[in-house]
Chains A and B, each alone.
Chain A
Amino acid sequence: KAGVTQTPRYLIKTRGQQVTLSCSPISGHRSVSWYQQTPGQGLQFLFEYFSETQRNKGNFPGRFSGRQFSNSRSEMNVSTLELGDSALYLCASRRGQGYTDTQYFGPGTRLTVL
């Protein structure tokens, strides 16, 4: 069974631009979560989607948004990029709504903001 896939794997943008990252969960998984990983702050939760509805949200500014499609694929968007947005963005999927369900991570998208 294919794992979680994220595209693109690497991205370079300049300040002020916007970016869209994509995540395809494991087949049959309906929950998708997004995380930001930086050396200073570690892994921080951005938001979670289940059946196209945002179920949970972390403490990030409104420049960070996401959505989930009917096929469970998810995208996250960051507008008006700042240097501090440079990070590894990880997507994770799980089968159901249960928070004890195993969460599977993708390899991440490395975003560099210049």
Chain B
Amino acid sequence: GQNIDQPTEMTATEGAIVQINCTYQTSGFNGLFWYQQHAGEAPTFLSYNVLDGLEEKGRFSSFLSRSKGYSYLLLKELQMKDSASYLCAVVFVGGGATNKLIFGTGTLLAVQP
């Protein structure tokens, strides 16, 4: 299987730090993406990890541990506009010329004043 698990909902306070976890089955793993999706809009790219470690990009950071099948997205200095769904998506090696990207159910983050 290619199960991807992440919390359904989280709540945090403006200015704080929040960590959104994602676990996945490691067989066939070939990279992990985080996407942000505001209500009624298309997902937009946040980060990509293929090697172990932390990738930092401004207020957002993403971490990957391939051996543990684990990733997290860290959001610092939260702003109200960060209220959105955060999607963990894993690239699984395909049988043909291409791989496929499988999404988790998403974590709905609510940032409160």
A binds B: no
